[in-house]
Amino acid sequence: MMGNGRLFKGFNDADVWVLERRSRVRKSIMAHEEWLEEYISSFRDLEDVLAIDVEAELEAYGRGEEVLTAEEVKRVVSEKLRRREEVLVRIPGRSVRCGMFKIEFGDIARDLAARLFEVAEGILRIEAERLEERMNSEVLPKFERFKERLECKIPDIETVSEISEFLTHLPVEVGKVQKEIEECVEMYEALETFGTVYELDENALHERWKMYGRPREIMSLATKLSEKLVVYREKFLKKQMSGQEAFEKVIESLEEEVAAFSAHDELSEVEKVSALLEDLQGRLENAVSEAKVFNSRETLFNRDATDYSKLGKICR
């Protein structure tokens, strides 16, 4: 017999029966250790979960420069949640008897599941913040610039020409931004897929639909403006033709004034003539500039340029 790990008096460690008993116990322990090791080994693939540091993992994710697509985000989050379910299913929430050994699991399963949930929730939060930032700093400002251009004042035919050119390329430009919008909408839908993990606020949902309708709003404004440009074009053409008629009279008047200068040949009139010449020269220069503007605008109206070469002869 034994007591406190030692044999009682009258028994010897070298006795056959003692050696046999110890051998059987040793074999039994070794067998049970193998079962224990085999059971513990079944959890080896969960070692990465045991090592999870929620704060560090989310910080690393937030610093990542790679932009993930909506589908990639869904895969990442889904994998975290799948692992969470796996932990809850595979790790017992109670003690387990493994032969002569008893394993106390305590709250390990719930703790690991909570960590995985926090990581999934954190990733969704980061992506929601990135999405909001992208919308407010990249996508929506482009539409604001489109809208600002479409709502600008139209004071002359030059502006009509510029806006017409802008409208020609607008569908392509809106199409480029439309692709960005589709990516944002896909991300919204990806985030909404995990509504039980992370819930988008009402403002984000409002911005989503607001953004979704922007291309249609811009193209509607473009159509209306295109119709207005036709009216503006006719208005400015009439103004141009009227202005050119008046300008012809100005040229005739300048021609007469230049011809009249030959009559001023008295030395006593030098100062007077000098002042008149300076004034006339200024008006001739203005007329030349105005003629260039008329010719430039005729090009914008797709009209043949009026010959104002007479002005050059007058100036000489």
Q: pLDDT by residue for the chain (316 residues), tens digit each?
A: 445 555 555 566 666 666 677 767 777 667 666 765 666 665 677 788 888 899 999 999 999 888 899 999 999 999 999 999 988 888 776 666 666 666 666 677 888 899 999 999 999 999 999 999 999 899 999 999 999 999 999 999 999 999 999 999 999 999 999 999 999 999 999 999 998 899 988 887 788 888 888 999 999 999 999 999 999 999 999 999 999 999 888 888 888 877 776 665 555 555 666 777 777 788 888 888 898 998 999 999 999 998 888 887 777 6
What is the token pair recorded at 175?
A: 């199409």
- Show which of 98, 125, 152 is a domain's final residue: 125
Element (H, E) at 3: strand 2-3
Residue 12 is part of which domain span? 2-125
Answer for the pair 216, 99: CB distance below 8 angstroms, yes or no.
no
Identify residue 265 by its one-letter amino acid code. D
Is residue 155 within 8 Å of 109, Cβ to Cβ?
A: no
Residues whose CB is less than 8 angstroms from the CB of residue 142 and which lie 6 or more positions away in sequence, other chains included: 177
Q: Which of 69, 102, 125 is the last residue of a domain?
A: 125
State which amino acid sits at residue 22: R
Per the domain annotation, does 299 fall within a domain?
yes
Q: How far is the C-alpha of 36 from the C-alpha of 47, rounded, in Å?
A: 17
pTM beyond 0.75: the answer is no
Structural domain includes residue 260: yes
| Residue 314 contacts residue 250 (beta carbons within 8 Å) | no
Torsion of CA 140, 142, 143, 146, to 10 degrees: 160
Domain assignment present for 185? no
- Determine the longest span between alpha carbons in the chain, in angstroms: 161
Last residue of a domain, one of 71, 100, 125: 125
Query: In angstroms, rounded to a whole number, what is the distance separating the alpha carbons of residues 232 and 230?
Result: 6
Q: How far apart are CA 139 and CA 144, in angstroms?
A: 9
- Does residue 221 form part of some domain? no
Q: How many domains does one find in the chain?
A: 2
- Taking Cα atoms as reference points, which of 84, 75, 74, 82 lies closest to residue 54? 84
User: For residue 306, is it within any domain?
Assistant: yes
Reported in sequence order, the residue ranges of 10-161 that DSSP labels E, i.e. its strands, are 96-98, 101-103
Q: Is residue 37 part of a domain?
A: yes
131 occurs within a structural domain? no
Q: Is 96 helix (H, G, I), strand (E, B) or coil?
A: strand
Secondary-structure breakdown of the chain: helix, strand, coil percentages, each rounded to the nearest 5: 80, 5, 20
d(CA 248, CA 290): 11
Indicate whether 202 belongs to any domain.
no
